[in-house]
Structure 1
Amino acid sequence: MLSTLRKIVQEVNSAKDLKTALTIIVQRVKEAMGSQVCSVYLLDPETDRFVLMATDGLNKRSIGRVSMAPNEGLVGLVGSREEPLNLEDAASHARYRYFAETGEERYASFLGAPIIHHRRVMGVLVVQQKERRQFDEGEEAFLVTMSAQLAGVIAHAEATGSIRGLGRQGKGIAEARFVGVPGAPGAAVGKAVVVLPPADLEVVPDRAVADIEAELALFQRALEGVRGDMRSLSSRLENQLRPEERALFDVYLMMLEDASLAGEVTTIIKSGQWAQGALRQVVTDHVRRFELMDDAYLRERASDIRDIGRRLLAYLQQAHQTTLTYPDNTILVSEELSPTMLGEVPEGKLVGLVSVLGSGNSHVAILARAMGIPTVMGAVDLPYSKIDGIDLIIDGYHGEVFTNPSELLRRQYADVVEEERQLTRGLDALRALPCVTLDGHRMPLWVNTGLLADVTRAQERGAEGVGLYRTEVPFMTKERFPSEKEQLAIYREQLAAFHPLPVTMRTLDVGGDKALSYFPIKEENPFLGWRGIRVTLDHPEIFLVQVRAMLKASEGYDNLRILLPMISGTHELEEALHLIHRAWGEVRDEGVDIPMPPVGMMVEIPAAVYQIRDLAAQVDFVSVGSNDLTQYLLAVDRNNPRVADLYDFLHPAVLQALRIVVDGSHAEGKPVSICGEMAGDPAAAVLLMAMGFDSLSMNATNLPKVKWLLRQVSLAKAKELLEQLMRIDNPQVIHSALNLALRNLGLSRVINPAATIQA
């Protein structure tokens, strides 16, 4: 059954629309199960009824006409109970309902399985037979497996239709809404620009072109390029391969002839599709046909075609790179956004970001928050390859993307954008004012930096120091490890920009979701692998060069603080401190007279929470990285949108761990700060202040909002609120209670200006 399942899913996956996909499903499942009827009912969210959308065996005229509520009929029972139903004699069941137009009175046995996608019931898959018999366990298991596999495919086909402005019945719809996870707060109205990962055929979007001749010429150049590559490869390997093995290159060259694959691509380009889209269509079609073949040798040919497709695409993308245009109000969309993609958009044109993969706490989302760009992450159901050039609205507060928005929705979000602009302007007035509560408590607000642009942004917003300078950013922008001299120049620039304010430089923190192209770390589970201090302790030559550069850069400024990431125990801390002292000794021997800077450690691993006093005793300060600490405490990968809703820094376990860290650090007489994204959340900042954190470090964009809110409350009120919330055992209730308390104090304006639209 497994290969049957695979074939059906592949065939359905390549369907051009929902109607075609459903037709394939009912035909193929009916064949595979040897039943007389197979039907698909989909739940219409507007009417809350299960509508017959495709059938093979029932009267075709009943499609779209027959429907039932969740409390009606056997289909309604399967959908509402969310479990399969296997009946020998359907008509004798109390919930059986007869529809004359289907002609289904002839069928006695009934087997139905719910189609569920991300907890949402989408519909019901049904098979029926004339004779009275119970479907066996294997048949039931097959249908359940099939419906689970098809749920995502149906959701994707449905989404693709809605992108084109078509509903389930193929009728026009004004707009479609796709839900991801909030990446960076704010709203944006603009045009989608889809950025493709290099040479990945599956994600190439459709794109209509006016200049067909230019696309044809482009494709011909790509063909010539690949042909040339094949010939040179063949001659280079002449002495290493037998003639029959080299014949593979002749097969490739044959496929590139006009009568074969190339000819089909040319035909599609002539219909108005761009070369990359035409290539994707043809290659996907050929690959699917070969993969469905029973002969193992022929099935393997699918990978040859895929390889040719990738080679041709690489040439096409090379030529296309220079022609990518960014309109005003660009909303950048990609399967997985990268910092370099953001950097390629001309200044002033980028208004929003959408990433299909990643979550609100992945590296690019943190970057987006620092830049103040509204972002939606983890929009896994968005058929992004279809949306290039169409109008979009993104809501970074709720993690929503709207395609083909109506005029009313545009006006509403345009108002939100304007309101945000005015709020930011109003908060700018706070720049020179200290962050002091109503009862006189002083709370220093620092910034997280990494990019040069962060410096100006931080100074404009009145930052009082740098709580986290991400040294991996300069490492990520190079094609090799930067030398000591190069690092020294970068660090000195940062220290000079903020002098005399303190600058906390975290030692190289790579691994997890932060990769260096020239130092790849391939692991099954990178977040629990070789990352942070583990990498640099294993490579003291990298660590020592970096620390020496930091120390030399601080000469004459004396505002450097060194921070060690991912410490899990005293052994790592002692080893790192030993290397820092060694580097300091070397620098002093070279004649650079600098005092030993304060050295701190990050609490990101739960083990450090429970050893906090032992660790704090050995350092000058403690800093909590709330992003990773939350991830590890809750066992939630923060880059996985499927579990993004479980990632919550207001979870009771996280709040209790933070309190343990503050109390333990203070017991050893050491100051403790927090530099994760939690510190930049205005509502959470109230609780952190109440816990006793000595400073908060955040992205510069959020600093004015946090300052405004903390200046409106008293420390006594914040402590009272914290004590109430620490008694609650549910994170959702904590969020609601916190927001309600702030609203009652008239302090919710900095939290979510788009809330009214949701109402």
Structure 2
Amino acid sequence: MLDSLRSIVQEVNTADHLQSVLDITVARVKDAMGTEVCSIYLRESTLGRYVFSATEGLNKNFVGKISMAPTEGLVGQVAAREEPLNLDNAEAHPKFLFMPGIGEERFSAFLGVPIIHQRKVLGVLVIQQQTRRRFDEDDEAFLVTISAQLAGVIAHAQATGLLVALDDRGERQGSAKFRGVAGAPGIAIGHAVVVAPTADLNSVPMRRSKDIEEELEFFHECLEAVREDIKALGRKLASRLAKEEQALFDVYLSMLADNALAAEVDERIRDGEWAQGALSKVILKHVRTFEMMEDAYLKERATDVKDLGRRVLAYLQAANNGPVDYPERTVLVGEELTASMLGEVPPENLVGLISVRGSSNSHVAILARSMGIPTVMGAVDLPFTQIEGSEIILDGYNGHVYFNPSAELLHRFQSIYEEELQFSKELEALKDEPCVTTDDYRLPLWVNTGLQADIARSLDRGAEGVGLFRTEVPFLLRERFPSEEEQRKIYREQLEAFAPMPVTMRTLDVGGDKSLPYFPIEEDNPFLGWRGIRVTLDHPEIFLVQVRAMMKANAGLGNLRMMLPMISSVPELEEALELIYRAHDELVEELGFELELPLIGVMVEVPAAVYQARQFAKRVGFLSVGSNDLTQYLLAVDRNNARVADIYQAFHPAVLQALQHVVRDGHAEGRKVGICGELAGEPGAAVLLMAMGYDVLSMNATTLPKVKSVIRNISMKRAKEILAHVMTMENAAEVREYINQSIEESSSQRLVKAMMAEPVL
């Protein structure tokens, strides 16, 4: 059965469109299970009806022509209950619905299982048999397994099918909506530019060729270059390989012959596709074919074909490696966007980001929020390779992407976009106003920085200090560890720009989802592995150079605060402090004058730190909660995983209780407690944090004016009443809804919109 399952899934993965997926599924499942009928009923999204979509064994003339309401028939029963239904006499069931013409009246035995993707029922997979019997447990388990495996494939095929093919003029004729996760708020209207890693066959965007003959010539030049590479490799290894092993290079060359793979690529190029896209489709088709073969030797040839395809693709990409033409309103799209990809686009042209992978708390999303770029993350069903150059609306409030939108939709979102601009201008007037509640409680608002561009943006929005300077950013932008002097200059620039306001510099925080290209950290479970302070304590030569550079940069300014990430125990903290004191003493001796020891703090971002906050506070000058990681670890949710993005809930009661615990314990030792995670920049959350007693909130510069606006329109007394009620609640959805309602009572409707950042469409 396992072999049958693998074979079915592999074959379905090669299908070009949704109907092929369905037809292959019903045919192969019917054969594998030895039944007389296999059918699929798909849910039509608009009316919710279940459409007879594919069959083997019933009347195919009715496919696509009949459907059932969600509550009708045995199919509706399976979908409604979201569990299998196994009957020996289907007609005797009270929910049985006779459908004239399709021919199922002859079949008594019925087994139906729901097809579920991301908690949504996509349809129902059914097998039937004339003999009156219940299918056994193995049959039921196999069908459930097939359904679970195929759900994602069917969802993706449905999404791809929404992108109607190009017409004769190469223009898109259809429009579609795709769901992702809200990454950074805002509306973006522009054209998609797809970016892909080098030599990744699965990420090549679909694009039309500008000159077919030129594209053919270009492809064959790259093909010949790879042939020469293969020949040279064969000659180099000739003395070390047996004769039969040397023959493998001849096999490679024959695959690259003009009458083999090349001929298929030529055909696609002549149909108007660019060389990279044509090559990708041909290679992936052959890879899947080999992978489906039962013979072990032939199955292994899939690796050879893939390797050859990557080699040719690398030449094609290298030759096309000139400056990319980014349109005036670029929406950057990729399977997994990185900071370096963002850096390639002229800032004045970049209006939005869409990443197939990741969540709202991925670092690229955090970076996008700090830069004020509307972003959608985790758009897993978006066929991103097929939208190059298409007009896109990106709704960063709700996590939606609209492909090739209608004129009406464009008009509606353009209105929202213009209203956003107007409201942002109004918020600019708050720049020099203090963040004070209506009953005169003063709450300092600081910013999180990391890029050079953050300095001007932060000061323009009235920041009163830096609660988190991400020192890993300069490390990420280099091909080696920066020297002590290079670091000193970078840190000095930050400290001078904000002086005399405080600047909190976090020591190097790599690992998890942040790996330096020249210092890779590969682990099975990186978020619970070697990261943060664990790395730098194991490499004191890196840590000492960094803290020396920070203290040198602080000379004569005195506004440096140093913060230690990922601390989980007292011995760990004491070891880090001992190194800092040692570096300070060495610098005083080396420089010949007294150098101020900066205020040192701890980031509270793991559950262990929550319950040792008081012990930490006795040893350092301040505490600062990193709510992103703390939420991740408390809820056991990978914040970069789009599949569980809805479980990552910053308003979860456990998170709120942990936040309250930290501030109480910190204050008990007379220490100031801040928060520098993304939660601080959410206006509704800021009200709760203020009421809990947090001494400072640090956020990205883009959200600071909105937070200030909401705080200035509420009293501390009311904030504490809201907090008291919220702490009695049992789920995050209730908390969020109550906060929104409460803020609406205290503020104008305009401010609530600023807080929720969610247009009603």
1:699-718 equivalences under 5 Å are: 699-718=700-719
Amino acid at match of 1:80: A
Deviates more, 1:290-299 or 1:367-376: 290-299
Report the counterpart of residue 627 of structure 1 in structure 2. Answer: 628
Report the counterpart of residue 452 of structure 2 in structure 1. Answer: 452
For residue 701 of structure 1, give the secondary structure of its aligned residue in structure 2. coil
Q: Aligned pair 1:420/2:420, yes or no?
A: yes
Report the counterpart of residue 103 of structure 2 in structure 1. Answer: 103
1:718-737 equivalences under 5 Å are: 718-737=719-738
Report the counterpart of residue 169 of structure 1 in structure 2. Answer: none
Distance 2:129 2:34 in 1: 9
Q: 1:69/1:165 Cα in 2 relative to 1: closer, same or farther (>3 Å)? A: farther
Report the counterpart of residue 603 of structure 2 in structure 1. Answer: 602
Report the counterpart of residue 220 of structure 1 in structure 2. Answer: 220
Q: Is the 8 A contact 2:713 2:747 kept in 1?
A: no
Distance 1:214 1:342 in 2: 31
Deviates more, 1:577-586 or 1:17-26: 17-26
Q: Aligned pair 1:477/2:467, yes or no?
A: no
Report the counterpart of residue 169 of structure 2 in structure 1. Answer: none
1:497-512 equivalences under 5 Å are: 497-512=497-512
Q: Is the 8 A contact 1:36 1:128 kept in 2?
A: yes
For residue 348 of structure 1, give the secondary structure of its aligned residue in structure 2. coil
Report the counterpart of residue 687 of structure 1 in structure 2. Answer: 688
Q: 1:757/1:722 Cα in 2 relative to 1: closer, same or farther (>3 Å)? A: closer
Q: 1:400/1:726 Cα in 2 relative to 1: closer, same or farther (>3 Å)? A: same
Q: Is the 8 A contact 1:4 1:32 kept in 2?
A: yes
For residue 114 of structure 1, give the secondary structure of its aligned residue in structure 2. strand
Amino acid at match of 2:691: A
Shift of 1:756: 7.3
| CA deviation vs aligned residue, 1:583-632 (integer Å, no higher than 9, x gap) | 11111111154211111111001111111111100001111111111111
Report the aligned-residue RMSD: 1.6
Distance 1:535 1:323 in 2: 37
Distance 2:719 2:132 in 1: 68
Q: 1:756/1:439 Cα in 2 relative to 1: closer, same or farther (>3 Å)? A: closer
Amino acid at match of 1:271: D
Shift of 1:752: 4.0
Report the counterpart of residue 53 of structure 1 in structure 2. Answer: 53
Distance 1:752 1:223 in 2: 56
Deviates more, 1:577-586 or 1:194-203: 194-203
Q: Is the 8 A contact 2:83 2:114 kept in 1?
A: yes
Q: Is the 8 A contact 1:496 1:557 kept in 2?
A: yes
Q: 1:504/1:376 Cα in 2 relative to 1: closer, same or farther (>3 Å)? A: same
Distance 2:400 2:588 in 1: 55
1:64-79 equivalences under 5 Å are: 64-79=64-79
Shift of 1:174: 5.6
Shift of 1:757: 4.9
Distance 2:519 2:139 in 1: 50
Report the counterpart of residue 377 of structure 2 in structure 1. Answer: 377
Report the counterpart of residue 653 of structure 1 in structure 2. Answer: 654
Amino acid at match of 2:369: R
For residue 112 of structure 2, give the secondary structure of its aligned residue in structure 1. strand
Distance 1:701 1:165 in 2: 39
Report the counterpart of residue 669 of structure 1 in structure 2. Answer: 670
Q: Is the 8 A contact 2:50 2:68 kept in 1?
A: yes
Distance 1:751 1:497 in 2: 33
Distance 1:126 1:90 in 2: 12
Shift of 1:46: 1.7
Q: Is the 8 A contact 1:503 1:559 kept in 2?
A: yes
For residue 603 of structure 2, give the secondary structure of its aligned residue in structure 1. strand
Shift of 1:323: 5.3
For residue 315 of structure 2, give the secondary structure of its aligned residue in structure 1. helix
Report the counterpart of residue 27 of structure 1 in structure 2. Answer: 27
1:274-293 equivalences under 5 Å are: 274-293=274-293
Amino acid at match of 1:499: A
Q: Is the 8 A contact 1:165 1:175 kept in 2?
A: no
For residue 101 of structure 1, give the secondary structure of its aligned residue in structure 2. coil
Report the counterpart of residue 570 of structure 1 in structure 2. Answer: 570
1:319-468 equivalences under 5 Å are: 319-322=319-322, 324-468=324-468
Distance 2:462 2:572 in 1: 36
Shift of 1:718: 1.0
Distance 1:97 1:705 in 2: 56
Report the counterpart of residue 238 of structure 1 in structure 2. Answer: 238
| CA deviation vs aligned residue, 1:444-503 (integer Å, no higher than 9, x gap) | 111100000000101111111111000000000101111111111111111111111111
Report the counterpart of residue 614 of structure 1 in structure 2. Answer: 615
Distance 1:694 1:301 in 2: 62
Q: Is the 8 A contact 2:162 2:175 kept in 1?
A: yes
For residue 671 of structure 2, give the secondary structure of its aligned residue in structure 1. coil
For residue 742 of structure 1, give the secondary structure of its aligned residue in structure 2. helix
Q: Is the 8 A contact 2:164 2:174 kept in 1?
A: no
Q: Is the 8 A contact 2:445 2:465 kept in 1?
A: yes
Q: Is the 8 A contact 2:397 2:758 kept in 1?
A: no
Q: Is the 8 A contact 2:30 2:127 kept in 1?
A: yes
| CA deviation vs aligned residue, 1:118-148 (integer Å, no higher than 9, x gap) | 1111111111122222222222211111111
Q: 1:243/1:747 Cα in 2 relative to 1: closer, same or farther (>3 Å)? A: farther
Shift of 1:33: 1.5
Report the counterpart of residue 6 of structure 1 in structure 2. Answer: 6
TM-score relative to the length of structure 2: 0.97
Amino acid at match of 1:353: L
Shift of 1:209: 1.6
For residue 429 of structure 2, give the secondary structure of its aligned residue in structure 1. helix
Shift of 1:165: 7.4
1:737-752 equivalences under 5 Å are: 737-750=738-751, 752=753
For residue 693 of structure 1, give the secondary structure of its aligned residue in structure 2. coil
Distance 2:490 2:641 in 1: 33
Shift of 1:750: 4.4
Q: Is the 8 A contact 1:165 1:404 kept in 2?
A: no
Report the counterpart of residue 643 of structure 1 in structure 2. Answer: 644
Q: Is the 8 A contact 1:162 1:173 kept in 2?
A: no
Amino acid at match of 1:396: G
Amino acid at match of 2:502: P
Distance 1:716 1:173 in 2: 56
Report the counterpart of residue 181 of structure 1 in structure 2. Answer: 181
Shift of 1:582: 0.7
Distance 2:575 2:222 in 1: 54
Amino acid at match of 2:740: N
TM-score relative to the length of structure 1: 0.97
Amino acid at match of 2:23: T
Q: Is the 8 A contact 1:207 1:277 kept in 2?
A: yes
Report the counterpart of residue 296 of structure 2 in structure 1. Answer: 296
Q: 1:244/1:15 Cα in 2 relative to 1: closer, same or farther (>3 Å)? A: same
For residue 123 of structure 2, give the secondary structure of its aligned residue in structure 1. strand
Distance 2:504 2:389 in 1: 42
For residue 111 of structure 1, give the secondary structure of its aligned residue in structure 2. strand
Report the counterpart of residue 149 of structure 2 in structure 1. Answer: 149
Deviates more, 1:673-682 or 1:85-94: 85-94
Q: Is the 8 A contact 1:709 1:747 kept in 2?
A: no
Shift of 1:520: 0.6
Distance 2:71 2:739 in 1: 38
* Structure 1 residues without counterparts, runs of 5 or longer: 167-171
Distance 1:757 1:174 in 2: 24
Distance 1:620 1:747 in 2: 39
For residue 322 of structure 2, give the secondary structure of its aligned residue in structure 1. helix
Q: Is the 8 A contact 1:394 1:401 kept in 2?
A: yes
Q: Is the 8 A contact 2:397 2:759 kept in 1?
A: no
* Structure 2 residues without counterparts, runs of 5 or longer: 167-171
Q: Is the 8 A contact 1:330 1:351 kept in 2?
A: yes
Distance 1:33 1:179 in 2: 35
Shift of 1:747: 4.1
Q: How many residues align?
A: 754
Distance 2:363 2:542 in 1: 22
